[in-house]
Amino acid sequence: MLTKLLIVAVLVLIVFNLFRALAALLNKDKAKDPSAVVRALTIRVALSVGLFVALLVGAYFGIIPTHGLR
């Protein structure tokens, strides 16, 4: 159950950073911080790659059960 909660938490963080980048992109005050979009998208990509690697490692070590075709 803890694994599922961690996966959902990371997915929520990914979506949050996606909308944070959108908000920074649509912000009228461009002089405030022009690299905010790049930073938010970088964090989003890093979280996505980290989640993917964590899922692969979890499946490899048996933490996450796999239900593949046999």
CA distances from 10 to 32, 34, 53 (A): 28, 26, 13
CA distance 7 to 31: 36
Cβ–Cβ < 8 Å for 6, 50 = no
Q: What is the pLDDT of residue 67?
A: 80
How confident is the model at residue 26, as a pLDDT? 87
Instruction: Say if residue 29's pLDDT is above 80.
Output: no
pTM of the model as a whole = 0.81
